[in-house]
Amino acid sequence: MKVLIIEDEQSSADRLRRMLEGEHEIVGVAASNADVEAFFTHEAKEGVDLILSDIQLGDGLSFESLRKVPTAIPVIFTTAYDHYAVQAFRFNSIDYLLKPIDNEELQVALAKVKPMVQSQASILNSPSTTDAIAQLLESVRSQYIRYRERFLISYRDTYIVIPVNEVSHLGIKDGVVHLYSQTGKSHVLNLTLDELESQLDPTRFIRANRQYIVSAAAVEKLSTFFLGKMRIHMKGYPDTDIIVSRDKVSTVKKWLDY
């Protein structure tokens, strides 16, 4: 099959390419919604049998560009979303794979798609195509994507409310997750970074590395770091070192430039 990969993390794209090589032809790798739209504007649409697509891209959800694809192509989503999102995908009969992608699970998903590719009628009548993306987008928005808007934090004998737009970054210190506000205050949270990453709007927050989630509104500048890495400088936190791996540098840049 001729496969288009939509993935904004180079390491993940390379892993999918290695899994597919030999049996399938990679016709392109798109790292953003803009890349997807450009691909289907300039490339032969009939040259794609299958799309393997991440969901969260640096410039938004991949649903936004996939629903504009002017043809019916089977889609397998690759996602780090939790089981609530998976339920939404099942409801809409869209195939999905949870990251990190397991090669055996990928092969099983590909086997399900092959009969669809061989029968144009099956593709046109199947809900597991880009024709269903618009419905999926609305479903996910209404059923799942309700991002956190505030934090209720215990403070001495009371509780304080911190809106997410006042958050600078969240990080792990001495094994405990802390919320750092744009006013320079910090608060302990009884949540993991993985939980917080799924609760926060990806257009406003990004997981910079294993230790930090940062807010776009609080980023002051970026600077180069050794071995192709990058440092994120946060407003009001000059001594905080948030280092981004080489593989994720382009993702962070695109996220900030949107």
Please say which residue of 96, 120, 143 terminates a domain: 143
Grouped pLDDT means (10 residues each) for the chain, 258 residues:
91 91 91 89 74 83 78 78 52 65 87 74 48 58 70 91 96 95 95 90 91 96 94 96 92 87
Asked if residue 100 and residue 122 are part of one domain, the reply reads: yes
Q: 167-173 and 212-215: which strand pairing?
A: antiparallel
Backbone angles phi, psi at 180, to 5 degrees: -110, 120
Please say which residue of 143, 176, 207 terminates a domain: 143
Asked if residue 75 and residue 191 are part of one domain, the reply reads: no
Asked if residue 182 and residue 138 are part of one domain, the reply reads: no
Asked if residue 110 and residue 14 are part of one domain, the reply reads: yes
The pTM assigned to this predicted structure is 0.52
The b/e string for 235-247 (b: 16+ C-beta within 10 A; e otherwise) is: eebeebebebbee
Residue-range definition of the domain harbouring residue 217: 150-256
pLDDT at 136: 58
pLDDT at 125: 47
pLDDT at 95: 72
